[in-house]
A and B are shown apart, each in its own frame.
Chain A
Amino acid sequence: DQQVKQNSPSLSVQEGRISILNCDYTNSMFDYFLWYKKYPAEGPTFLISISSIKDKNEDGRFTVFLNKSAKHLSLHIVPSQPGDSAVYFCAASAKAGGTSYGKLTFGQGTILTVHP
Chain B
Amino acid sequence: DTGVSQDPRHKITKRGQNVTFRCDPISEHNRLYWYRQTLGQGPEFLTYFQNEAQLEKSRLLSDRFSAERPKGSFSTLEIQRTEQGDSAMYLCASSSLSGNYGYTFGSGTRLTVV
Contacts and interface: CB of A to CB of B under 8 A. Distances in A.
B40 interface: yes
B4 A102 contact: no
B100 A102 contact: no
Nearest to A49: B102
Nearest to B108: A43
Contacts of A89: 42-43
23 contacts: A4-B42, A9-B40, A32-B100, A36-B105, A43-B93, A43-B108, A44-B91, A46-B101, A46-B102, A89-B42, A96-B56, A100-B97, A101-B99, A101-B100, A102-B56, A103-B48, A103-B56, A104-B43, A104-B103, A105-B45, A107-B42, A108-B42, A109-B40
Interface of B: 4, 33, 35, 40-45, 48, 55-56, 91, 93, 95, 97-108, 110
A25 interface: no
B39 to A, nearest CB: 11
Given A43-B91, A49-B102, 11 more contacts: A34-B102, A42-B107, A43-B93, A43-B106, A43-B108, A44-B105, A49-B101, A100-B99, A101-B95, A103-B45, A103-B56
Contacts of A108: 40-42
